[in-house]
Copies of this chain bind each other. A is one copy, B any other.
């Protein structure tokens, strides 16, 4: 499998029919977006839809933006595909129409209603305000504006109210910024929030198992390339990460701050407080990269203000939008009957899926049923990034 970048090709990180192959697609597609999941073509192109721009369309999240827009039949009057100068001029087919990728410029946002950004923090900082000035509502996947007090930080299932004052029809000249939370925050809070609403989380200890995709398409390629190299007895090529990633794990590559925590860990702390509008919730996070492709997992220990037993918690989670509960006990029965012990939950279940999967257990040592120990998995590119952003965009319609 060739994993190096090619100047004239766009790498698709597409869903695969085989769970074994939830890897970047081996089939390089010549500047053509294909909806691998759908057999019937859905067309969101409609005169009454908004004018949409995708910024960073050649990246892993950019590609997923297109896939999710198509999967969800998102309405659009027209769509503008924007990227760096390097990718400008390439052609890309989306929903049976061919588009030319354009170089991102200030004037790219003329007439654009909704701009989906995923091209890194510095591009967002430079072009986000430009787009807003020109009347676009920017849904930004970077960390650039997340902690700006007046910018809503939104998970639609969790705090839709934070963006209630922003919509397409209510605009008067200027646009607005809405920030997409960090992937690990989204995945954690999708499971923790329904429980928080019921019993109020006072303390949350999170340990993450984070995929390559969080560092972008090139990091996924690096993991693949290194794995080939290590199996072949060669020294692994380290470009994105400073150390070997194949068959290794390491503390998240974000900058370490003076308090000993890295920026990724502090995002979980600060974003949770902002999204829950609760400055008192105690959050501790340890963020670790593990050699998997595109789904994050998180071990989350919760302490509540009020009692919450495991059965009630399960019913709450089963009723929560965007959450799938995986129940072990049924699987453990197969073991009791002498079969091979089954797995409680594993990460490939959630690759390329919209829902976040969760398993919950009473935290036995916590007195008075005031603790739960949950394990959450979610697709980093999908719910952790592109899907959440497009769900935000849907609320603007």
A328 to B258, CA, bound (A): 10
Residues of B within 8 A of A260 (CB): 310, 328-329, 361-362
Which residue of B is nearest A261, CB measured? Answer: B361
- Nearest Cβ distance between residue A104 and chain B, in whole angstroms? 26
Q: Are B346 and A292 in contact (CB-based, < 8 A)? A: no
Whether a CB of chain B sits under 8 angstroms from the CB of A291 is: yes
Residues of B within 8 A of A246 (CB): 20
Whether a CB of chain B sits under 8 angstroms from the CB of A19 is: yes
Q: Which of B250, B290, B332 contacts A291 (CB 8 A)?
A: B290
User: Contacts A20-B235, A23-B230; is A365 near B284 (CB within 8 Å)?
Assistant: yes
- Nearest Cβ distance between residue A349 and chain B, in whole angstroms? 9
User: Contacts A248-B347, A251-B345, A348-B244; is A259 near B1 (CB within 8 Å)?
Assistant: no
- Nearest Cβ distance between residue A336 and chain B, in whole angstroms? 8
- Nearest Cβ distance between residue A249 and chain B, in whole angstroms? 5
A236 to B346, CA, bound (A): 15
Q: Which of B244, B254, B284, B373 contacts A19 (CB 8 A)?
A: B244
Whether a CB of chain B sits under 8 angstroms from the CB of A262 is: yes
Q: Are A375 and B286 in contact (CB-based, < 8 A)? A: yes
Which residue of B is nearest A249, CB measured? Answer: B347
Which residue of B is nearest A257, CB measured? Answer: B332
Q: Are B292 and A242 in contact (CB-based, < 8 A)? A: no
Whether a CB of chain B sits under 8 angstroms from the CB of A149 is: no
Interface band, chain A: 35 or more
- Nearest Cβ distance between residue A45 and chain B, in whole angstroms? 35
Whether a CB of chain B sits under 8 angstroms from the CB of A319 is: no
User: CB-defined interface of A253-272 with B at 8 Å, one 1/0 digit per residue?
Assistant: 11111111110000000000
- Nearest Cβ distance between residue A382 and chain B, in whole angstroms? 17
Q: Are A20 and B346 in contact (CB-based, < 8 A)? A: no
Whether a CB of chain B sits under 8 angstroms from the CB of A276 is: no
Beyond A21-B230, A253-B343, A284-B366, 10 additional contacts (C-beta under 8 Å) are A23-B247, A207-B207, A251-B346, A251-B359, A256-B332, A256-B335, A256-B342, A260-B310, A286-B299, A290-B291
Whether a CB of chain B sits under 8 angstroms from the CB of A340 is: yes
Which residue of B is nearest A242, CB measured? Answer: B340
Which residue of B is nearest A16, CB measured? Answer: B233
Closest 9 A/B residue pairs (Cβ): A282-B365, A250-B346, A251-B344, A260-B361, A207-B207, A256-B332, A207-B299, A286-B299, A250-B343
Residues of B within 8 A of A209 (CB): 209, 249, 288, 290
Whether a CB of chain B sits under 8 angstroms from the CB of A49 is: no
A307 to B355, CA, bound (A): 41
User: Contacts A283-B365, A292-B249, A373-B286; is A344 near B256 (CB within 8 Å)?
Assistant: yes
A310 to B284, CA, bound (A): 15
Whether a CB of chain B sits under 8 angstroms from the CB of A95 is: no
Whether a CB of chain B sits under 8 angstroms from the CB of A111 is: no
Whether a CB of chain B sits under 8 angstroms from the CB of A293 is: yes
